[in-house]
Amino acid sequence: MAIQVLSIGNSFSQDAQRYLHDLAKGEGVDLQTVNLYIGGCSLQRHFLNLKGDKREYTLEVNGNTADGFMTSIREALTARCWDVVTLQQASHESYHEETYQPYLVVLAKYVREICPKAKLLLQQTWGYESGSNRIRQHGFETYEEMFAQISSCYDKAVREIGADGLIPSGLAFRYALEKGIDKIHRDTFHASFGVGRFLLALVWYGCITQQEIDHVQFMQFDEKVNSREYQIAIEAAKEAINEKGLKR
């Protein structure tokens, strides 16, 4: 039986889902993934789209775009019997605690009303590249500085909505950087097409399925991942899952 996963997200959930379905398939798990995509979409915009029942989302299925097909949050939530629904803040607002509410509470309540059996998870987003112009524009110098505030905001958000768990993507990025990954961002803020997206897939797969990731075999990358990066990604993802992921 397939595990059905819906993300009400943006480009960061797009990054997370690019390899997720295929990685799971290689492990013998039927993980069906759908992403509601608007670039840079914040919780406030999701809230306004929900209230207006706006069909403004590009539909992405199993890591690929369904060309020409637009949908609304309501349509997506009622389309399948979802096992997991994820929410997240836009990266440029993720370190501002005041930008989460009241929007997240309303979205979470609606998800639970429509999909009462689904686990509601938050994807913890990640910081920008240390020393980049982009991170300096937001008042930080290092990934660690920015992520510390992001992490605090997500921990509070999880408590405020009584989420079923946190997908610790940002923490996995931090560990990967500490373990020696040279380049995990592709444009100073999105995940790199190779190891960055692979790391996200590992974290999501481990959190959602509760399966071990030590011996995952996946090589269908859009950008080369060398053996060192591959191993660091597994180690970083495992460490993040063990610290912050869903408990068995």
- How far are the Cα atoms of 65, 158, 232, 243 from residue 196, in angstroms, in the given order? 19, 24, 11, 19
Query: Which domains can be identified in the chain, with CATH numbers?
Result: 3-244 (3.40.50.1110)
Q: Is the dihedral of CA 41, 193, 62, 125 positive or negative?
A: negative
Pairing of strands 57-61, 64-71: antiparallel
pLDDT of 247: 58
Question: Beta partners for 36?
Answer: 8, 59
- How far are the Cα atoms of 118, 177, 199, 214 from residue 90, in angstroms, in the given order? 23, 22, 19, 30
pLDDT of 244: 85
pLDDT of 245: 66
pLDDT of 66: 86
The answer to pTM > 0.85 is yes
pLDDT of 20: 98
Per residue of the chain (248 residues), give pLDDT as tens. 899 999 999 999 999 999 999 999 999 999 999 999 999 999 999 999 999 999 999 999 999 998 878 999 999 999 999 999 999 999 999 999 999 999 999 999 999 999 999 999 999 999 999 999 999 999 999 999 999 999 999 999 999 999 999 999 999 999 999 999 999 999 999 999 999 999 999 999 999 999 999 999 999 999 999 999 999 999 999 999 999 866 54
Structure tokens at 127: 């910081």
